[in-house]
């Protein structure tokens, strides 16, 4: 935790990651911590402010998450959001009740008393509500600063103790002036200063990695994606010739992937060795259908291959991975987060690993890594390459992974990507790919009845991968891709387009 930042106590909100992102966008470091963090642990982090996230619980439930009440006595400003407001009210002697009229969606907030949170803002504006309980009586020495139609105490606070609570969600884009409200809390109430800038991050990480590695060797697990490539360039800047980049061909790559990545990385001056290990990966995946089991097998095999390569490199002690903060959160390595799936970089690792991990981007979001890449002069061809999961096509084949299925999926995925680039759509999309479904459908091709495979196409727009919406591809474009896949890929007679958002779905199917 960077000193003088903001800590976000996680009460289970679906928006907790957005809070951290919004704070960082304001140039201040933020860290998500479990709601039960102790006051002593908070003191050690030396934050300028604390934010309580929202959450699905009611303060009157027996097992409702509640922070240590001594937090309010630390002298550190606190901003409670939604459930954060309610739990603060409850613990400090106010009253919270189930509302007869619940508020979900857009609501009009009306400011009734001046407050530093609203400095420079109009008297009324739209906010995003999502709550069933509401504050009925505020705690002693608290004031009400704003109301909505169904929340008589939509914004409350104790100015002397710098404790504030808001019923709405300033972190979501649907709330007008949400960023300004957070900025007022951080800079006017907490007296925080900007301490989160990518140029400084690079300098700090280079120094930190040099001190950690010393004269040892670092093996970089490069995939050709944004995260591992930027991480490799950063570490190369820190340790120079003590870096060894290794690319594992696991047999689960896209069409022409190994050849194009090898060319790109070598052109950037990175020392690269390609390991051909597809046989061992595919053998271990035989008969395996469960997605979590597939991820674990691939993760274990991946590390095993690297350890064997490490034995060939004298003085090798570290393994570099491009783990991101969303990976850590979604794999429930941030307490308070529910596990969504195991990410290749953070899950499925052996308990005993002979290589020590270096994860310089473990506290970053994807767009922040791209910003670092620009500062390191990495080509756009890599920086804007769509994310590709560590387990590769194994989790885009639903069910068992077979050679014949990999061939089908590679060709369909290649056609989809090729057409996106031809039409200038690739850079507009966060991630696009094809999925091979475990079903067959009836079709008619050349007056002959067929019973063949189904390809699902997925394209989403996002900022950091934590939330995503399906991309509205033109019908004529989808028509062309569908015709090419069915005509050119043997074994496919149906193509569908996935229009699910995240949440409730994830971006990948497995």
Catalytic residues: 82, 169, 171
| CA atoms in the 13 A half-sphere facing the CB of 435 | 21
**Residue 99: which of 55, 34, 150, 61 has the closest Cα?**
150
Provide φ and ψ at 443, rounded to 5°: -145, 175
Distances (CA, A) of 426 to 377, 433, 460: 21, 11, 11
Residues 151 and 134: beta-carbon distance below 8 Å: yes
Cross-strand pairs, 448: 445
Cross-strand pairs, 457: 434, 497
- Cβ-based burial of 424 (10 A; exposed 0-12, middle 13-18, buried ≥19): exposed
The DSSP-derived string for 416-475 is HHHHHHHTT-GGG-SEEEEEEEEEEEEEEETTEEEEEEEEEEEEEE-SSSSSBEE----H
Label residue 458 left, alpha or beta by phi (over 0 means left) and psi (-120 to 50 means alpha).
Answer: beta
Strand 49-52 with 6-10, pairing:
parallel
d(CA 454, CA 452): 7
**Residue 196: which of 48, 79, 331 has the closest Cα?**
48
Distances (CA, A) of 156 to 82, 101, 162, 168, 297: 11, 20, 11, 12, 51
d(CA 260, CA 333): 33
d(CA 111, CA 155): 9
Provide φ and ψ at 274, rounded to 5°: -100, 130
- 3-state secondary structure (DSSP) of residue 301: helix
Helices 198-213 + 366-375 axis angle, to 10: 80
Cross-strand pairs, 164: 79, 157
Handedness of CA 286, 289, 291, 293 (dihedral sign): negative
- Joined tokens for residue 318: 């570290």
């Amino acid at each position: 935790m960077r000193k003088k930042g903001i800590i976000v106590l996680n009460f289970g909100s679906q928006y907790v990651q957005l809070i951290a992102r919004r704070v960082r966008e304001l140039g201040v470091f933020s860290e998500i911590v479990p709601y039960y963090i102790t006051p002593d642990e908070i003191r050690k982090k030396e934050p300028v402010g604390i934010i309580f996230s929202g959450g699905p619980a009611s303060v009157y439930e027996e097992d409702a998450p509640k922070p240590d009440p001594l937090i309010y006595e630390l002298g550190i400003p606190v901003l409670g959001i939604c459930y954060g407001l309610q739990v603060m009210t409850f613990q400090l002697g106010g009253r919270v009740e189930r509302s007869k009229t619940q508020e979900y969606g857009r609501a009009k907030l009306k400011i009734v008393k001046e407050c530093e949170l609203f400095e420079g803002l109009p008297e009324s504006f739209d906010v995003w509500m999502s709550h069933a309980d509401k504050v009925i009586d505020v705690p002693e020495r608290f004031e009400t600063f704003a109301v909505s139609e169904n929340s008589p105490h939509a914004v409350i606070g104790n100015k002397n103790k710098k404790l504030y609570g808001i019923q709405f969600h300033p972190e979501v884009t649907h709330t007008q002036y949400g960023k300004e409200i957070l900025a007022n809390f951080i800079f006017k109430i907490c007296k925080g200063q900007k301490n989160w800038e990518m140029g400084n991050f690079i300098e700090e990480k280079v120094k930190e990695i040099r001190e950690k590695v010393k004269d040892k060797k670092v093996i970089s697990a490069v995939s050709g994606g944004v995260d591992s490539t930027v991480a490799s360039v950063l570490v190369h800047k820190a340790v120079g010739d003590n870096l060894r980049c290794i690319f594992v061909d696991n047999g689960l790559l896209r069409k022409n992937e190994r050849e194009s990545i090898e060319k790109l990385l070598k052109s950037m001056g990175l020392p690269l060795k390609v390991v051909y290990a597809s046989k061992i990966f595919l053998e271990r995946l035989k008969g395996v259908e469960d997605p979590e089991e597939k991820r674990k097998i691939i993760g274990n095999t991946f590390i095993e291959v690297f350890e064997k390569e490490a034995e060939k490199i004298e003085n090798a002690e570290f393994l570099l991975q491009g783990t991101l903060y969303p990976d850590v959160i979604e794999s429930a390595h941030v307490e308070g987060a529910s596990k969504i799936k195991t990410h290749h970089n953070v899950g499925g690792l052996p308990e005993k690993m002979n290589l020590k991990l270096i994860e310089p981007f473990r506290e970053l979001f994807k767009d922040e890594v791209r910003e670092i890449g620009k500062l390191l002069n990495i080509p756009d061809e890599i920086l804007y390459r769509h994310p590709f999961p560590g387990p590769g096509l194994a989790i885009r084949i639903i069910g068992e992974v077979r050679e014949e299925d990999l061939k089908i999926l590679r060709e369909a995925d290649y056609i989809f990507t090729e057409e996106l680039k031809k039409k200038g759509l690739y850079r507009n999309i966060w991630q696009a790919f094809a999925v091979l479904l475990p079903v067959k459908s009836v079709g008619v091709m050349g007056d002959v009845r067929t019973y063949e495979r189904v390809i699902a196409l997925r394209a989403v727009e996002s900022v950091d991968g934590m939330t995503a919406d399906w991309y509205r591809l033109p019908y004529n474009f989808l028509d062309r891709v569908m015709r090419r896949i069915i005509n050119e890929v043997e074994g496919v007679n149906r193509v569908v387009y996935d229009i699910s958002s995240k949440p409730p779905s994830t971006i990948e199917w497995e």
